[in-house]
Structure 1
């Protein structure tokens, strides 16, 4: 497995673990946790590399 594939698999596993933890929480706490997760993922996407269009 390449480093990129291993990194992607690790990130996927981290996300699945976070989702499992969130799902075990009471509904009100789940909503706040999903909001925090959404905000974190949005920040990561915004800070990622940009594709250059020619």
Structure 2
């Protein structure tokens, strides 16, 4: 991922979080878990297998 792609991904995060905040609690929990997994994969290089 180059710098321009990274900035685009960063710019998309805030609107995505705003959409999540408008959802019911159960849906928010699932959506935040998905965001967490995606961010972890980015930070870890996507090469670490997930548990569960």
Do they fold alike, i.e. is TM over 0.5? yes
* 1:34/1:11 CA distance change after superposition, 3 Å: same
Structure with higher RCO (Cα < 8 A, 6+ apart): 1
> 1:8 Cα deviation (Å)?
4.7
5+ unaligned residues in a row in structure 1: which ranges?
A: 49-54
Larger Rg: 1
How many aligned residue pairs are there? 45
> 1:10 Cα deviation (Å)?
2.3
Q: In the aligned structure 2, how far is the partner of 1:13 from the partner of 1:38?
A: 16
For 1:21, the equivalent position in structure 2 comes to 19
Runs of 4+ aligned structure 1 residues displaced above 2 Å come to 6-12
TM-score (norm 1): 0.67
Cα RMSD between the aligned structures? 1.9
